[in-house]
Structure 1
Amino acid sequence: MTDAPETDDPEAAASEAADSGTADSGTADSGTADSGTADSGTDDAGVAARDDLAGIVDLFGAMTRPELRRGLSELAFKRGVDVDDGTLRATIDAAVRGYHLVPVEGTDAGVDPADETFLVAGPAAFPSVPPNAEDLPHILDVPDRRLEREALGRTVRDRLATDVADAVASADRSRLEELLEVTYDLETWAPVDGDDLRGRIRATLDGLGEDADG
C-alpha cells in the first residue's frame, strides 16, 4: 500500500486555503510551507507548526492521517478557529514533504492493521506539544503505538533515496539542498547511514553549479 500525497501540490493547496480565508491567519508563527526557510514554521494555512504536528503524533507513537486530522480539528475548535478538511490535508502533506512527519506501512513497522499507513514524527522534526494537545489522548479513540526505530530508519531511508533520485532527475536545486539536510537529520534519528545519498546530492549540486557558470 503506497502513501500517495493527498493533494497533487500540497504547498500550493495550503496557500490557496490561506488565500480563501479558511484559517485564522493570526495563529500562524513565522515561516511558511512555500518558503522552506523555517523548519518549524506553520504552513501557509496557519493550522499548526510542523513541529507541533510531530508532537501530536508523538503523543500516540503513530497516527493515521484521518486520526491526525481529527486531532487538529479538535484543537482548532478549542481555539475557536474554523479549518476545513482540505486545509488540514494540505498541512499534513507539507509536513510529510519536509520530513517532519514520515509515512510508514503497518506491515513495515509491525503495527496493526498491517495494511494501514501511519504517520510518525520524522527526522527533521523537533516535536512540541501545542496548547490543549495533552487532552487528545482522552478525546480521540487512538491506541498507543510504539514503533521500532531501526526498522523505521530503514523505511525512511528508502523513501529519502527515492526523493533524492527524483530531485536529481529534475535538477531541483532547492529540493536537493533541503534533502541534504535531511540526510544528517536521519542519521541522528535512526541508526542508518546517509553518506552515499549525500555524495549523490553534492555531486549533482556541483554539476548544477558548473552548468550555471557555463
Structure 2
Amino acid sequence: MDGDPSVAARDDLAGVVDLFEWLTREELSRALSELAFKQRAEVDDEAIAAAIDVAVAEYALVAAPPGALAEAGAGAGPEAVADPGDVGDADGEGEIPDGDAIALAVGPAAFPSLPADAEDLPHILDVPDREVDRETLSGAVLERLSADAVAAIGAGDAERLELLADVTYDIEAWAPVDAGDIRERIVDELDA
C-alpha cells in the first residue's frame, strides 16, 4: 500500500468489497490490514485511507445510502451505516466523506479483482451476509455524478470533468440509468 494508488489497487479494493456486497470504510480498512498482515507487509493506515478516498473519488467504490443496504435476516442497513445525508455527494473535488460508518459498494468504474489471499477474508472478518439494492444504489450514484459535474463545471476543473465524462459511460453499462444529460453538460463545458 505504498505510494499513489494504482488502477489495479482500486480494482483490488472493489474486489474486496465485492466479496461482501458492501463494507463500511472501517471494515474495508480492517480487511486491508488483515491482507497486509497475511502478506507480511507493513500496514500504513494513511495509505489505506488515501487509497479508499481515490477509489471513491474515481467511482470504483461508491458511498451507498442506507436504503440500498441489507443484511441477511434484517431490513435496512445496520445502525452503523451513516445517515443518508452523510453519504451522498462529494463536492466534485475529490473530497469524500470519510466517516468509518459510511458503507461502500462496488461502483461503475471498477473492474473488481482479488488481491492475493483475499479469498480468506470471509473467514477472517465477522461480517454477516449482505445485499445491495442496485436500483437504489444506482439512483444515488447518478445524483452524486450530477452534483460532481455541476461542482467541476463551477470550478472549471477540466481534468475532473474528463474523468466524470468517462463515468457517464461506465454508469450506463453498470445500471439501467441514463446519464446522457450529464454527459452533454460535461462535453459542452469541455468544448467551450
TM-score range normalised by the length of the shorter chain:
0.7 to 0.9
Task: Identify which of 30, 39, 44 aligns with 1:79.
Answer: 39
Distance 1:124 1:24 in 2: 22
Q: Point out the structure with max Rg over C-alpha.
A: 1
Residue-pair matches, total: 167
1:114-149 Cα offsets, whole Å, 9 max, x none, are: 561310011000001111100000000112211121
1:170 deviates by 0.5
Distance 2:111 2:62 in 1: 13
Percent identity over the alignment?
Answer: 52
Residues 115, 195 of structure 1: alpha-carbon distance in 2 compared, 3 angstrom cutoff: farther
Aligned twin of 1:165: 150
Q: Which runs of 5+ in 2 are unaligned?
A: 71-75, 82-101
1:100-124 Cα offsets, whole Å, 9 max, x none, are: 0000121344542156131001100
Distance 1:112 1:94 in 2: 24
| Amino acid corresponding to residue 53 of structure 2 in structure 1 | D
Distance 2:78 2:59 in 1: 23
Query: Is residue 123 from structure 1 mapped to residue 108 from structure 2 by the alignment?
Result: yes
Matches within 5 A, 1:88-103: 88-103=48-63
Aligned twin of 1:53: 13
| Amino acid corresponding to residue 143 of structure 1 in structure 2 | P
**TM-score between both structures, scaled by the size of structure 2:** 0.82
Q: Which runs of 5+ in 1 are unaligned?
A: 1-22, 26-31, 42-48, 208-214
Query: Is residue 104 from structure 1 mapped to residue 64 from structure 2 by the alignment?
Result: yes
Q: Which has the higher contact order (CA 8 A, sep 6+)?
A: 2
- Contact map agreement 2:65 2:137 (CA 8 A) in 1: no
Q: CA RMSD in A?
A: 1.6
Q: Secondary structure at the match of 1:146?
A: strand
